[in-house]
Amino acid sequence: MLCRYRNNIDITYIGTPSGFVYLTAIIDWYSRYIVGYSISNTMQADMVTRTVAEAVRKHGKPEIINSDQGSQFTSDAYINLIKSYESIRISMDGKGRATDNIMIERFFRSFKWERLYLLCPETVLEVREMTAEYMHTYNHVRGHQSHKYLTPRDMYCNALHNVA
């Protein structure tokens, strides 16, 4: 099942009074639909591999998955997982090429300015609840100017329909 052409994956940190938690998210480049995300209190490769495996299970395999060259994305666990899907091509930003991953970076900026900095969560549970609510709003409610105010979910479903 061909679902998407290109996904971007990355990790961002969320500060709480007791320390950092980390948000891994995968965005469909075309629709800007968040196809998968996870929250963890450690920034290790298993967080990334679980997020990818769940996104592929729910949405199918993209043709390309792009990341930066962080240790989680250059780990054997991540590389071997992506290779196990056979048809997914791995793409990594070149040194100094942050714009290759611009869609997910822009999503993280929106997440932080529209939710995180306003609510200032104090616990991991609050981070999880706040993030789940934002993901729903971002994907299903919030229209995007570049897509004539359609939601990412609408664009994603339209793209799937047009491929079928």
Asked if 67 and 93 touch (Cβ cutoff 8 Å), the reply is yes
Residue 77's nearest CA partner among 105, 41, 42, 53 is 53
Asked if residue 143 lies in contact with residue 155, where contact means CB atoms within 8 angstroms, the answer is: no
What sign does the CA torsion over 132, 135, 140, 142 have? positive
Q: How many CB atoms within 10 Å of residue 122?
A: 11
Rounded CA separation 73/100 (Å): 15
Average pLDDT over residues 145-159: 87
| Centroid of chain to Cα 68 | 13
Inter-residue contact 7 to 90 (CB < 8 Å): no
Residues 26 and 36: beta-carbon distance below 8 Å: yes
pLDDT band of 53, cuts 50, 70, 90:
very high
Q: Which residues pair with 72 in a beta bridge?
A: none
Is the pLDDT at 98 greater than 50, yes or no?
Answer: yes
Instruction: Specify the pLDDT at position 136.
Output: 97
The pLDDT assigned to 3 comes to 46
Calpha distance 21→13 (Å, rounded): 6
Tokens of 72: 């989680």
**What's this model's pTM, rounded to 2 decimal places?**
0.91
pLDDT tens for 58-94 read 999 999 999 998 899 999 999 999 999 999 999 887 6
Third-level CATH fold of 2-163: Nucleotidyltransferase; domain 5 (3.30.420)
Count how many Cα atoms sit within 13 Å of the Cα of residue 23 in the half-sphere of its side chain: 28
Residue ranges per structural domain of the chain: 2-163
Number of H helices, E strands in the chain: 6, 5
**Per DSSP, what are the bridge partners of residue 89?**
64
